[in-house]
Amino acid sequence: MSLQRTGISIGAELNGMFFMAELHEQGRFDHSAPPAELTCYRRNLFQVVGSITLPRALRYVMTDNGDRIPIIGQELTVSATESVEGNTVKLISVPWKTPVSYAASTPEDRVEREPSSVPLDIMSNQDMNAEFATFPIAWKRLQFRTATANNGRRKELQQHFVVRLKLVATLSTGAR
């Protein structure tokens, strides 16, 4: 069996109530400024949708020592960090105020919680491609739990949040 380096493909987009923030200086557009940023107020809901494609042959991780460790599970997570100190920012999945079936809902259905990970089982994926497995991803009704702290700083020094998707593999050793 020959081992080779392989890659994954993640395509995702943010949807929601956003606007483009531009940097202005003394009423004129500053052409030397960084490009406009996507801005979302903390209370606004957003979603992350897209897909991830993994090679079906992705079953082992090779260590620096040349050891081959089996992958026993994979999942995709969504998280956020802040730009000033790199600290984690809590994302929450906001429940619907009125569930689709109110009679079948429980109090836990109406509690805010962190978005759950998306399990990626390449062996049970029904994709017809023999070499790759593609999974849809969707985290809906997301919200930042806290607001950014701008503290009167210049625009380029103000805090902002970065949304990240991370593929996590669980190894047979228990390591992630």
* Helices vs. strands in the chain: H and E counts, helices first: 0, 13
**CA 93 centroid distance within chain:** 12
Could you tell me the pTM of the whole model? Answer: 0.76
Residue 19, classed as helix, strand or coil, is strand
pLDDT of residue 100: 62
Element (H, E) at 24: strand 24-25
* pLDDT tens-digit map of 88-103: 989 999 887 766 665 5
Residue 111 makes CB contacts below 8 A (sequence gap 6+) with 95
Mean pLDDT of the chain: 81
Lowest mean pLDDT among 52-56, 83-87, 114-118: 83-87
Q: Dihedrals φ, ψ of 58, to 5°? A: -75, 90
